[in-house]
Amino acid sequence: MPLPKKRHSSCRGKKNRTHWKIAKSTLVPCPQCKTLKAPHRVCPVCGAYAGRQAIEIKTKKTEKKKES
């Protein structure tokens, strides 16, 4: 297996690393509730996908504490 004859400088390594960028995640509005969601995924707010109800979203009910 070939080996490098000389060590690369740290500057040369950092120049190569400048292209390692994190891409922004794409978000599209949900056609039903207009919240932003990832494309080709079920909406986490309303549960719609491709114009139909894919999953049922359960909402938390807040209970008031009874004063004694």
The pLDDT of residue 49 is: 94
In a domain, 65, yes or no: no
Q: Tokens 């549960």 — which residue?
A: 47
- Please give the residue range of the domain that contains residue 34: 26-58
The pLDDT of residue 61 is: 75
Q: What is the pLDDT along the chain (68 residues), one digit of tens a residue?
A: 888 899 889 999 899 888 888 989 999 999 999 999 999 999 999 999 998 999 998 887 777 777 76
Amino acid at site 52: R
In a domain, 14, yes or no: no
DSSP 11: H
In a domain, 20, yes or no: no
In a domain, 68, yes or no: no
> Looking at the 3D structure of the chain, how many domains does it have?
1
The pLDDT of residue 68 is: 60
